Amino acid sequence: MKRTPITRLSNPKNKSPATVESWHNGGDIEILQYARSLQAAAKTLVLKLGLERTAKTAWDVCPVVVLYRQALEIHPKMLVGEGSRFLASPTDPIFISTTHSLVWLAQIVCQIIKAVGWEGEFKCNGVSSLAEFSALIDEVETFDPVIRAIHSSKDPNSVSQYYRNFGVVKFVAKLDALLNLLTVTADALTATWDLREDGTAGPEFHGRGWFWADDDSVTTVCALIFSILPFPLSMNRVKSPVEK
């Protein structure tokens, strides 16, 4: 009999005391719903953008970038919050909750993925290695309109021209895939730790798992299923603008 996939957001489990005392103080479900709303709002804006952007409308793409950047900050925090328990020195919850550095969060994510031995499985559309993951995070930081304006050349039209030519559809597809990857990885880390605490997983459990990616060149659905889990992990996927 086929089992119904369990969704992280719609089926929250009772939080243990260790979870409540985390960086989100037990508000992970609400925070993830907020991240999803940011993602959905960005998609709505993309659908309203004209195919041809002029000098006057070039900056209309910037709210999409900012919304995705904020959503991207939340997902690594969730992963680090769940996965830092696998590190020799767990990350300070207060530091996780207060930092806004994507680069710092990405560094911790890489440490966690290496600690559990998932380097070969941590992949999605646009990310085939931890090095590419870090490079994508670095790239997203450069998309910020304020930072780009501050560090741009003296040409007043250079930033406007940049966003006029910005490939927003490809940007959305790549970030959707990355957010999916971070979400299912955080779920997998939670399941891995729970099984270890319950004594279900033996020493051979370390690093066991696989990612399935359906790459249609526009967006990638990343699902992580562990062969020894009593249930499959799943998530709600938000469609990209070109799929609607």
The predicted-structure confidence for 118-174, as pLDDT tens digits, reads as follows 999 999 988 999 999 999 999 998 888 888 888 776 676 778 888 888 888 899 999
The pLDDT tens digits for 55-65 are: 677 888 899 99
**What local confidence, expressed as pLDDT, does residue 52 receive?**
65
Considering the chain, what is the average pLDDT of its residues?
A: 75
Strands 220-225 and 6-7: unpaired
Predicted pLDDT at 135: 95
The model's pLDDT over 208-241, given as tens digits with 9 standing for 90+, comes to 343 333 333 223 323 333 343 333 333 333 333 3
Asked if the model's pLDDT at residue 19 lies above 70, the reply is no
- The more confident residue out of 72 and 25 is 72
Distance CA 101, CA 1 (A): 45
What's the confidence (pLDDT) of residue 59? 85
- Tell me what the mean pLDDT of segment 4-18 comes to: 41
Q: Cα separation of 145 and 149, whole Å?
A: 6
State both tokens at 128: 């085939």
All structural domains of the chain with their residue ranges? 26-243
Please report which confidence band the pLDDT of residue 74 belongs to, taking 50, 70 and 90 as the band edges.
very high
117 sits in the region (left: phi over 0; alpha: psi -120 to 50; else beta) called left
Q: How many Cα atoms within 13 Å fall on the side-chain side of residue 14?
A: 2
pLDDT of 207 above 60:
no
Residue 199: per-residue pLDDT: 62
pLDDT at position 35 is 92
pLDDT for residue 4 is more than 50: no
CA angle 80, 12, 118 (to 5 degrees): 35
Taking the complete model, does pTM exceed 0.85, yes or no? no
